[in-house]
Amino acid sequence: MRPILMKGHERPLTFLKYNRDGDLLFSCAKDHTPTVWFADNGERLGTYRGHNGAVWCCDVSRDSSLLLTGSADQTAKLWNVKTGTWGFGKATSRTKASNSTTISTWNHI
């Protein structure tokens, strides 16, 4: 196996995650922009724009259709992997949890 150089992030990486099949690699960084790459050659497939803070973590669904990201902007976003869009509905209410975390309730369209 040879190393692959992937150029694209403007700030340090915070997290890397392969999908279940091992053909996609998702990266998170302090540049606010999660990115998806072909794992075999390092080609960038796309970026997910919408966070206003460093993105600390991510996880991808078993079928690689959804990406969940967590950011320093105090949001978690659910992305469509293929289209790069986030939010599958709109926030209609907010609830305060016992530990002062704000939880958004989503209406699914």
Residue 83 has pLDDT above 80, yes or no: yes
Domain ranges of the chain: 13-82
Residue 105 has pLDDT above 50, yes or no: no
Q: What is the CA radius of gyration of the chain?
A: 15
Whole-number Cα distances in Å, 37 to 7, 20, 28, 44: 10, 14, 11, 4
Domain 13-82 belongs to what architecture?
A: Beta Barrel (2.40)
Written as six digits, the tokens of 98 are 């016992």
pTM of the model: 0.78
pLDDT (tens digit per residue) in 87-103 = 865 443 333 444 443 33
